[in-house]
A and B are shown apart, each in its own frame.
Chain A
Amino acid sequence: MTKPAELYACLYGKEFPAQALLRLRPELRDRPCVVMEGEPPLQQVCSLNTKARLLGIVPGMTSVEVDTFPAVVALPRSWKEEISAKAALLECAGAFSPRVEDRSEDRAFLCVLDIAGTEKLLGPAERLVRNLLHHVKGLGIAACATVSSNLHAAVSLARGLSPRAAVRVIAKGDEAATLAPLPLKVLGLREERAETFSLWGIRTLGMLAALPEKELIARMGQEGKRLRQLARGELSHLFQPREPAFTLEERMELDSPVEVLHSLLFVMGMMLDQLILRVKARVLALATVTVTLTLEGKETHRRTVRPALPTNDKQLWVKLLHLDLEAHPPQAAVLSLTLTAEPGSTSKVQLGLFSPQLPEPMRLDVTLACIRAIVGDECVGRAVLNDTHQPEGFRMEPFAVSTDSASVIPSGRFPSAARQLRPAESISVTVQSQRPKAFVFRDKRYIVERTYGPWLTGGDWWNPTLWGLEQWDLVARAQDSALLCCCLVRDLLQDRWHMAALYD
């Protein structure tokens, strides 16, 4: 049986803690930035960008030492932002190969893609990794990539690649020669092993590969054999692909508590950019976005925005989130924010030539959100009857435009309308032989001409909220001969009369 052809691409992002933080802070990319780790006041530099490195800052410096450099921005390390950045990168890699192994280190991002057999679909290996790097750059991360038929050779080369070369492809059989000039630190040796090799005068992988195998095993055991195979690019590897769940989440920890909504929206815009980029890669659109704000005092404020149709329009999302947060502002200053999104399919609506004029769903969303901000949530929507005969037995549901044909009102029959009074107005009624004879409504006295009723309704007798009503339809005339058709209601429990509705 022949061994199947193997080909691996390795994606390597240096200084990942700094890159993950600067991804959502593009305004800081042109300034020297360092990421500090540890308990204050014993923080140390754990990662830094090129501008900071050129100033002479090195990892391990204390915050006091960093303060001696001018205009350096120090950011605290954020594991949560690193996790979301890593998820975005792995998802990007997943677009090029279904088999991706995550081999990330403490301060660097490293993943290996199994790209054997992708040549017909995605082109030669070099073009594939250049495409991959282009997509990764779109996520705001600078990385390099290597390709080799041996996984460990690709990983070692990626770790030792010079900053100028972003892509390197090792031809099959050239592994040992390509790896030879690399320093030993790319193997990630333990301290004692590194010391032993330096005592022996072994500094590069080429020197290690040239050592005789049996003598090396006699001195170092199986570990020695493994290191020699690593240096020669011959160590085989059992690929362990990860299958990530597709979660759309972006998290941002703010440097200082923010109270102004507009500053938050600026940050949200950056995060939405990233979410839209990721969701677009799967030919999907954002269906809902949930904003979770962590406030001062450990409280959280959560709002969900769901437009009528899934959309990737960033301006629309910012507008909707703005209106929603303006209507429901957080009660304290914001420490961090998380955007969680659910994907939906990009739907297209087929419009008919003779279909009625309908509002554009996206504009309608913005209009409704604006109106909600003016009059409140409970006053916008569509009234739906509850399963009860109780007065005010309705609820409001979100308004949606159906594209079905409009309901047809039977012609030739005009239903009469009643103008409901909310709240019902108390009136005084003169009753004669248990029927209303006259009443005073809005300072006017009416004599009842015709009476219809009573219609008795009641319910909830099994609950403390029981209710009972007596309804009368009246035609009454005032002293100035104005006619009034109205609906009077008598509360049977409290024996009070109310004007419930006027027939229009």
Chain B
Amino acid sequence: MEQALQATDLLLQGGGFSAIVLDMGSIAPEYASRVQLATWFRYRAAAEKTQASLLLLTQHSCAKSSAELVLRFQAGEPLNNDATVFTGIEHRLEVARRRFTETPSNVVPLRKPVQSVNVASWSARATWAGVR
């Protein structure tokens, strides 16, 4: 894990990437939460500086206040539309926390303002499952 954190640091400092994914999904929460908060704060500052998006995948939220947006996945339900092959999973996620939300202004707009959606769901289909 130490090596992965160092490599992420280098990629963020190097700059030029639009998105960097750090996958700690298979690391147990008790180990992932041992990473110091200062590390996530440093990543956040570096990502802001180099205009990169850092996507962190963990079993529990680790980055705390350094995260711009925290998304929580619900346990996925397997799709059941084929008897012979595994076709995919139905995913559901909700926005757990958003750091900056648009402050409502006093001006009443002519158009209906954009409504934020906090819940989304989609089905991820296996590559071998046919198009339906």
Contact = CB atoms under 8 A, between A and B. Distances in A.
**A and B together in one complex:** yes
Interface of A: 356-360, 363-364, 366-367, 370-371, 374-375, 413-417, 419, 421, 450, 452, 473, 475, 482-483, 485, 503-504
Given A357-B18, A363-B14, A375-B3, A416 B124 contact: yes
A414 B6 contact: no
A415 B122 CA distance: 11
Interface stretch (B38-46, B72-80, B96-104, B110-118): B72-80
Contacts of A419: 25-26
Given A374-B3, A414-B124, A450 B78 contact: yes
A121 to B, nearest CB: 44
A347 B80 CA distance: 55
8 contacts: A359-B15, A374-B3, A374-B6, A374-B7, A413-B125, A415-B127, A416-B126, A483-B78
B15 A375 contact: no
Interface string B41-70: 000000000010000000000000000000
A156 B76 CA distance: 92
B11 interface: yes
A503 B90 CA distance: 11
B12 to A, nearest CB: 10
A483 B77 contact: yes
Contacts of A414: 122-125
A222 to B, nearest CB: 73
B35 interface: no
A375 B7 contact: yes
Nearest to B129: A416
A62 to B, nearest CB: 57
A474 to B, nearest CB: 8
A357 B16 contact: yes
Contacts of A360: 15-16
A188 B112 CA distance: 100
Contacts of A375: 3, 7
A363 to B, nearest CB: 5
B52 to A, nearest CB: 9
B10 interface: yes
A425 B16 CA distance: 37
A415 B16 contact: no
B50 to A, nearest CB: 9
Given A359-B16, A415-B124, A450-B80, A503 B89 contact: yes
A475 B7 contact: no
Given A452-B84, A475-B78, A364 B16 contact: yes
A196 B85 CA distance: 106
**Highest count of chain B CB atoms <10 Å: which of A366, A371, A416, A482:** A416
Contacts of B26: 419, 421
A371 B16 contact: no
A482 B77 CA distance: 11
A363 B80 contact: no
A452 B88 CA distance: 12
Contact of B85 (A421, A452, A483, A503): A452
Given A475-B78, A483-B77, A503-B89, 5 more contacts: A358-B16, A360-B16, A413-B131, A415-B124, A415-B126
Contact of B86 (A357, A370, A374, A452): A452
